[in-house]
Amino acid sequence: MDGAYRLGVGQAHGKIILAGEHAVVHHQPAIALPFSSVKLTVRIKAFTADDPRSPSQVTIHSDYDQGDFFAHSDHLAGIQTIWSAFFDEYQLVRPSAIIQIKSTIPPERGMGSSAALATAFTRALFDCYQINLDSETLSDYTHRSEQIAHGNPSGIDEQIVRSRDAIYFKKDEMPAYFQLSLPAYLVVADTGEIGNTHRAVSDVHLLLKEKTTIVKGWITAIGEIVEEMMRAIKQKDITLIGKLMNKNYYYLQQLTVNNEKLDFLVQNALSAGALGAKLTGGGRGGCMIALAESERIAKKVAKHLKTAGAKETWLLSLE
């Protein structure tokens, strides 16, 4: 506690799904990587009632919201739930507070911004009150928030935005952590278009209901691609990983979670020399990834993607 207010800080990074998004909601495996080029930090200043600097309410300062924390109910609903649950469960007096969010994770682009917000927010709250936060409690809080943001999340985002290692993930199971080390680069590109994971996930559910046999087949095929990719990762076979990314994208297109811009950027990445390319995350906008065998090719791919209309690109060494 610093003077008459408590300060808590929490952080989390972005994520990239290498393979298996959407199918992971239906109990197939997926592979995800931490993406620490983009980060989100939450600072909470909780005031004691007699502090003259105390604001009369809980206020938020972020690039997207300014003012009463509880007045912005849509995209802040997840962390509002965390706030209420925390003070109820630990039977603490609700303080006046200033919440500051600083983020370089583009929102609603399949980079895990909502999970990173829930994680950083939970960490900041526990830090503020100096309560030990174990992994299970963190998962419990972030999952509640993600259920509001995503409806029926697999839980992959919550795990990867706080992991230093890559994960092989199956719904309702503990993730298997592994160190990804490949002689390759990943190019990440933002289409600049906002995705809608919630909508895309429920549309896949509808499609599954309508054409159960065929859609089940696509989802199972994605699971098989992930298993084969894990073997290819162990063998450092980047050519095969690239092919599997393309195959994964084909099935994501069948599931209708692609869009024109993603298709266009994927095509551009491949013609610039990428070994494979696909959307990453919820799709219908958001981000795509491309695998390149060298930094030189990765830079060339990134340049092509920019010319083709990508809003921003990042290079990630997988070495």
Binding positions for ligand PMV, rule: CB under 6 A: 21-22, 24-25, 110-112, 150, 153-154, 156-157, 195, 197, 201, 281-282
Other CB atoms within a 10 A radius of the CB of residue 195 amount to: 24
Q: How far apart are CA 286 and CA 69, in angstroms?
A: 26
- Least distance (Å) between residue 8 CB and ligand PMV: 25
Give 60 or 219: the residue with its C-beta nearer to ligand PMV. Answer: 219
- The residues facing 80 across adjacent strands are none
Task: Return d(Cα 216, Cα 22) in angstroms, integer.
Answer: 12
Nearest-CB residue for ligand PMV: 282
| DSSP E strand stretches across the chain | 5-19, 30-47, 58-61, 66-68, 96-103, 166-169, 176-178, 185-190, 276-280, 287-292, 312-317
At its nearest, how many Å lie between ligand PMV and the CB of residue 136?
Answer: 19
- Show Cβ contacts of residue 123 under 8 Å, excluding neighbours closer than 6 positions: 8, 9, 10, 11, 12, 42, 133, 138
Decide: 146 and 78 in contact? Cβ < 8 Å: yes
Query: Is the CB of residue 20 less than 8 Å from the CB of residue 30?
Result: yes
What minimum distance in Å lies between the beta carbon of 163 and ligand PMV?
A: 15
To ligand PMV, the closest distance from the beta carbon of 168 in angstroms equals 14
For the bound state, the minimum distance from the C-beta of residue 271 to ligand PMV, rounded and expressed in Å, comes to 26
Cβ proximity to ligand PMV: between 110 and 276 the closer is 110
Q: Which is nearer to ligand PMV, 127 or 158 (CB)?
A: 158
45 or 109: CB nearest ligand PMV: 109
Which residue, 108 or 127, is less far from ligand PMV as judged by CB? Answer: 108
